[in-house]
Structure 1
Amino acid sequence: MTFTPESLFGRLDDVQADAGYDDEHPPRMGFFTDTSICIGCKACEVACKEWNMVPDDGFVLSGMSYDNTQSLNANTWRHVAFIEQPVDVPVPEGSGPRPAAAGTDLGMPTVGVPQGLPQINDQEAPSGDGGVRWLMSSDVCKHCTHAGCLDNCPTGALFRTEFGTVVVQPDICNGCGYCVPSCPYGVIDVREGDGRAWKCTMCYDRLKVDETPMCAKACPTQSIQFGELTELRERAQARVEELHDQGVEVARLYGADPEDGVGGDGAFFLLLDEPEVYGLPPDPVVTTRDLGSIWKHVGAAAVGLAALGAASFLGGRR
């Protein structure tokens, strides 16, 4: 494999070829998660744990939400986020527009409610004198085009599969933890008591026998869709346009753009609010993007130090 700058950042249309696979490799596979039809059942979380034998999370409620897992970690490879936002009861027809909803601080960063939010009724239910807008989303490792965890692993424990996904080999992982700060999404984690890094494998063992990953197979609403990444992106764009036609102006895709800071994600999402509301970074960037600039400055500094040393030596001889 010949190294090119595109191996570390920028658009990359064939991640498998870049990783050294020949032209006969399978198409890149991925997840498209449509949060507009997620019902928060957590079937994906349970199916993932059962198939991959992932340990339990302690069964401890945080007291902040109905969500008992709170985030992705070494023991949670699929995480269904519950985001509750209070809204006013819909006003009677003909009495004017309904006031916009106000966000609730649940420990995740928020940026307010985008224009057009009052038109969304998909995940909203009245309760008492007010109501609650439920935003639910099944989060997972993004299997980035440019994966910082993979690029910064010193032992080769992380590798790119023939399907374009990123997998940890636990028998090679030495627990150094370099991968953890390298992930712009905060996905990969070191398991307490085990010392090794763990994350979603997109059920690599199932992909090798042409089976669907368990989370997508268990999803009762098809919120999690699995397939060829190119086809999923087309399907997702059509879904966004469909929602826009229905008046859901805030619907947008997250992680589907191959020109973004990680070269596009292998697992991307349709969101009904700003990424920060879901606990997602608004502009993720792979850590290796700035390596060229860093080495350029290091080289300049080295040349400057060498010149200073030479000048000091020559000056001392005088």
Structure 2
Amino acid sequence: MPDPNSLYGPLDPAQDAGWSSAPPRMGFFTDTSVCIGCKACEVACKEWNGVPGSGLDLLGMSYDNTGALTANSWRHVAFIEQPRPAGHRSPPFAGLPTGVPASATSAAVAAETAGPTGTEPGLPAGSSSAAARMATDVLGDPLGAAPGNGGAAPGNGGAAPGCGGVGPRSGDAGPRHAHAGPGDGRAGAEFLGMPGAQPPGRGTGVQGRGDFRWLMMSDVCKHCTHAACLDVCPTGSLFRTEFGTVVVQEDICNGCGYCISACPYGVIDQRGDDGRAWKCTLCYDRLGAGMTPACAQACPTESIQYGPVEELRERAASRVAVLHERGVPEARLYGHDPHDGVGGDGAFFLLLDEPEVYGLPPDPVVTTRDLPAMWKRAGIAALAMAAATVAAFVGGSS
């Protein structure tokens, strides 16, 4: 008879599964704030576990070419594109300098720009820094000047000796350099709405700038404390390891698919060619040899961190506190609470938006939680029907 607490509430999953001298529970902490979407974890997972290729699928709706966790993608790096106006969250790029760059100032001095000849995007009219940049060539010399002498060569209209055609041509409306003064009919360079070199919103402020951001998350099986897939598997193909993880034994799986519908996260999937269920094993073979799982080993930014779950939870709480101090109040943990609907996950996440944005259920609940009560009600109903049947026969015979 299983412990009545095995379907809900905090517990040690390995000991509950019968491991008397189990090591500390191991798991993943995925910090999405430092995920760069490189998909190294996906490749490492496939290479180590011999997972078949998923094909090159262009979804047509995202740069994410995997789409979801499947039988052939045990790790899935989700790309969430958000073309939302800035201001819905903490201001991006807060604290950037708002002054004119030194390079533009130097260019204005070198070009001797006079008068309000142009504007920098987001700056009021009258700024000459943009005109100064447009009045210089790629080497920083004023247009029409001989290279290296900072001015026009005499007698040839600004062209260097022997370089006909560099200076102003006959018929030009005016000189091509920025020495024209206001009111002389020879306008200097003008800002025509072209993108400038400044960071977006330098002059307009954060609230006036549109902000397109990518949220990236390397999703994986959560290795739940209360794993419904374990409860419904009829063959024992799914089992709890001594590390507290959940593994599928593919040679025992009969392809019934019960675990697929039981998973509250939609992680488990069947392969079309054999019908068996497949998912992340948290590299059980590597754990037994004292090695780090392949995905965590390959992650270049340490977005995927592997270790004892209790230690990871402390590390995750510290990371959230740091992000809050740095002006990211939307940072939150997901799947870390042992009192949630699945008893806490062995693989949990730091998110920068609501769980639904990442395709995660906001309040997951183990789907077998109510099985004891359901069987109890079914038993009472069966007894009631049997009693009614007996009463009917007894009453009819009398």
TM-score, normalised by the number of residues in structure 1: 0.87
Q: Which residue of 2 aligns with 1:21?
A: 19
Task: Confirm or deny that 1:49 pairs with 2:129.
Answer: no
Question: What does the per-residue CA deviation read over 1:136-182, in whole Å, with 9 as the maximum and x for residues that have no partner?
Answer: 00000000001111111100111111111100001111111111001
Matched, 1:71 2:62: no
The alignment-based identity, stated in percent, is 69
Amino acid at match of 1:78: R
Deviation at 1:313, TM superposition (A): 0.7
Q: How many angstroms apart in 2 are the aligned matches of 1:131 and 1:245? A: 22
Q: Secondary structure at 1:202's aligned position in 2?
A: coil
For 2:92 and 2:358, locate their aligned partners in 1 and report how far apart those are by CA, in whole Å. Answer: 16
Q: 2:54 matched to 1:82? A: no
Equivalent position amino acid for 2:91 in 1: Q
Q: 1:306 Cα deviation (Å)?
A: 1.5
Aligned AA for 1:119? Answer: P
Give CA deviations for 1:70-115 in whole Å, capped at 9, x if unaligned: 1001000000000001134xxxxxxxxx543xxxxxxxxxxxxxxx
* Distance across 2 between alignment mates of 1:36 and 1:26: 30
The answer for unaligned runs of 5 or more in structure 1 is 89-97, 101-116
- How many correspondences in the alignment? 287
* Secondary structure, counterpart of 1:292 in structure 2: helix
| Matched AA of 2:361 | P
Is residue 120–residue 248 contact of structure 1 (8 Å, CA) maintained in 2?
Answer: no
- Which residue does 2:304 correspond to in 1? 224
What residue number does 2:5 align with? 6
Q: Are residue 209 (structure 1) and residue 289 (structure 2) matched?
A: yes
- The alignment's TM-score, normalised by the length of structure 2, stands at 0.70
In the other structure, the counterpart of 2:91 is 119
Say whether the 8 Å CA contact 1:191–1:198 is kept in structure 2.
yes
Q: Map residues 32-181 of structure 1 onto 2, 5 A cutoff.
A: 32-88=29-85, 99-100=87-88, 117-119=89-91, 130-181=210-261
Q: Say whether the 8 Å CA contact 1:254–1:275 is kept in structure 2.
A: yes
Give the stretch that moved more between structures: 159-168 or 296-305.
296-305
Give structure 1 regions of 4+ aligned residues with deviation exceeding 4 angstroms.
none
**Aligned-partner Cα distance in 2 for 1:36–1:6:** 35
Kindly provide the amino acid, as one letter, of the partner of residue 17 in structure 1: Q
CA distance in 1, matches of 2:65, 2:243: 32
For structure 2, the 5+ residue unaligned runs are 95-198, 202-208
Describe the SS at the equivalent of 1:215: helix
Does the CA-based 8 Å contact 2:90-2:328 persist in structure 1? Answer: no
Could you tell me which amino acid in structure 2 is paired with residue 38 of structure 1? Answer: C
Indicate the larger mover: 296-305 or 181-190: 296-305
> Which residue of 249, 258, 264 corresponds with 1:184?
264
Q: 1:87 to 1:229 in 2, by over 3 A?
A: same
Q: 1:209 to 1:185 in 2, by over 3 A?
A: same
**Is the strand fraction higher in 1 or 2?**
1
- Paired with 2:211 and 2:357, the residues of 1 have a C-alpha distance of 18
Question: Secondary structure at 1:289's aligned position in 2?
Answer: coil
> Cα RMSD over matched residues?
1.7
CA distance in 2: counterparts of 1:295 and 1:280, whole angstroms: 30
